[in-house]
Structure 1
Amino acid sequence: MMGHNKEKRYECDVCGKACQIPSQLEIHRRVHTGEKPYGCSTCGKSFTRLSGLREHRRVHSSERPFTCSDCGKGFKASKHLKVHRRLHTGERPYACSDCGKSFAQSQSLLVHQCTHTAEHPYACCDCGKAFTCSAYLLSHQRTHSGEWPYTCTRCGKGFTQPQSLLKHQCTHTGERPYTCIQCDKGFTCSSNLLVHQRTHTGERPYICTQCGKGFTKSSSLLEHQRTHTGERPCTCDQCGKGFTHSSSLWKHQRTHTGERPYTCAQCGKNFTRSGNLLEHQRTHTGEHPYTCTQCGKGFTRPSRLLSHQRVHAGEHPYTCAQCGKSFIHSRSLLEHQHTHTGEHPYTCARCGKGFTRPSRLLSHQRVHAGDLSIPSPVCGERFAMASNALTHQHMHTSGQPYDCPYCGEAFDSSRGLRQHRRTHAGEQLLPL
């Protein structure tokens, strides 16, 4: 009788893992063989288990059978609801043994641990870029193949990841289910809320080992590290300009195509980035949610507050390797470096004129388009560029605020003064 109670175990001949029933062993062996017999008829994605396919099919449908009792949000799988519930309970059961930081998901802990070891075990065979988890690699590979399997039914826009589609759909519904308890700002996904909360706490857990600069996101640290290595793996096929991040490349490409998919509902102005639209909308509402604790000045975005705080601290962290001049902003350093190289990477397709930054190209293109949207506050005359409107203002006030330190001649624009100073060849230039 005792022999009948003894549990029979089936062992994997590759790794020795034991399973209680033959069907479990058969499913486990697919880890070694790579077999994925259950394929999605919509996007072609394959799975090792039938249950995985059933769960995946909900990505293509609107079915969300698992609902949170606290906030009403629906999920396609019970395990996703379980993880979501930890946002309400504050439970973070997975702790890092190196730094003590805890996480709501085991996968998040595994990805975090790679920041300590610098391990990126999943490498792209096309460009060599490495990732901390296989899901990130799979999503990245779609940037090479052009595959966008997750499509918005409202506007037709495609995405490489289902969570990116879900986040995008909130732009149609206006839903921002994750709210900051300190400033009431809403977000489309919990990870963005978590990063935002660090602007209040000042937490910057991702530290650069070369310069000590801290970041709120691991992706921001990775992108920053490329400023030390000079690596720019994402290259524009039209002008050859390189970028440290694929999202920066996509945004840059819009300067060539003229695409501005984000439109202000109040004035109709279009933008290449959703963040720029959000910032612009604050010009209508007057909202400046990010305030300097030293002088009380408010800003429309946290990055501008951070840059402003450097004015108080006297910090200029970005230094030109050629002449030693330092800057508050990294973009100011990049623009300055063009004065050494003579590079004008942003070129007008109409007349061929080159510019050192995309904003100047966009201002120039208004001249061709006849877009004179910036009025003079004195006489109402309209201009394509704000700098032209400012120069014109000096004609009314008879002011010429830019004086040459050598001969005293005055100019109504800083550009005019810079051009004049070149006539003092051989003299040691004073800083403006």
Structure 2
Amino acid sequence: MVDYKTIITETLKTEVLVVGGGSAGCNAAAAAALEGKKTMLVERYGFLGGTSTYILDTFYGFYIPGKEGRKVVGGIPDKVLDKLFARKAAILRPNTYGAGTGVTYDPEILKVVWEELLTESNVDILFHSFVVDVVTEGPKVTGVILVNKSGFFLVEADIIIDASGDADVVAKAGFPFDGIGGKEAVQSLTTTFRVMHVDNEAAISFTKQQMWDWMKEANATGNYYLPREEGSVHITTIPGVMATNMVRLAIPDPTNIADLSKAEIEGRKQALEYFRFMKDYLPGYDKAELMNFSTQIGVRETRRVIGEYTLTKEDVLGARKFDDAVLECGAPIEDHHNAAGTKWEYLEEGAVYQLPYRTLIPKDSTNLLVAGRCLSATHDAHASMRSIGQCMAMGQAAGTAAALAIQEGVEPKKLDINLLQAKLIENGAMINTHSSFVNYHE
């Protein structure tokens, strides 16, 4: 660690500090503020949402797959849905992969919705700020050091929630993690892109299997380079605009900036090749034009913290329940491995498993929590739990736990789980679901 005292421009103090303004971080900050705690959120971009706004346009995980398709995520995440549907900026979309009904939205409107959620909650937001180091006293992280155009800031906090996706705070503080550098390769990366001026009626006239067959046919000619002979293209909230998830790149460590930079370049190159294929092969796309690339390449997996408990594949597929459960998930294991395909493994029809609170507590830490895709889980279990719906629910759980731990004067791992569960349920979280399908068109 550098001698931060020589470079700090300003010192800020808060009770709860959330690092990362993605779906998990936004919900964490809103939840902590809801309980009356002074809360600050730090985000590297100039807008909120993370993967939900700069890469994707659909929330998965709110509904489980299957005929019943019941809703398993509620509470603060519902406020986000309510705001989107009130603006007619979201639709429910059945998922052909069987991952459950998705909530497809306008990412630009969602940016404003996230801002409304946090400003209405009186959360202090610092945009354009990177965490470059941490300040520690033994196992306690007393603050983080940020850098932005105004200089170097020290933000001191009672409890810090690492919702950075890459477990940046956990890693800088020296706590253990898995994922990059582990025995299993992390999941591949994807640059998404949207196209416009599509004939919607013609574009829904073919199946995904037909599209995949055409990809194989195009590759066989030698005139195209389509490394992933699958993927998806779907309708959006805007007529004539379709969104894709096709590109695939594999790098050992997406936190390695040199490799990540090369992946950004290759991702856009692949995207243009897939777009060329779409115009040449897919009905309805002959007059289509490229609308935009994702703001950055989509990263599915990097560091996964080693927590007080690690969620396993057996927990997921066995629909395991836990005494310290804070949310539920019915999403399949969706492993975008390094090969051209995607490995899917499903729970039994209608089944869900629960996520234990302990997976959000880095092992041996005293005032850290995590939320989002850096939770404590094995590679396989992570491939199910990383859905945005569950990341939002993790955020609410972590933010609520942080506030209650401060209120009770205890470390997060010593918090009374009954108190936490009662507060989550009071605020609308769904820990044991028996509700039927919720229709947000009504």
Measured against the shorter chain, the TM-score band is: under 0.3
Task: Indicate the structure whose relative CO is greater, using CA pairs within 8 Å and at least 6 residues apart.
Answer: 2
- Structure (1 or 2) with the greater strand fraction: 2
TM-score between the two structures when normalised by the length of structure 2:
0.23
- Structure (1 or 2) with the greater helix fraction: 1
TM-score between the two structures when normalised by the length of structure 1:
0.23
Q: Which has the larger radius of gyration?
A: 1
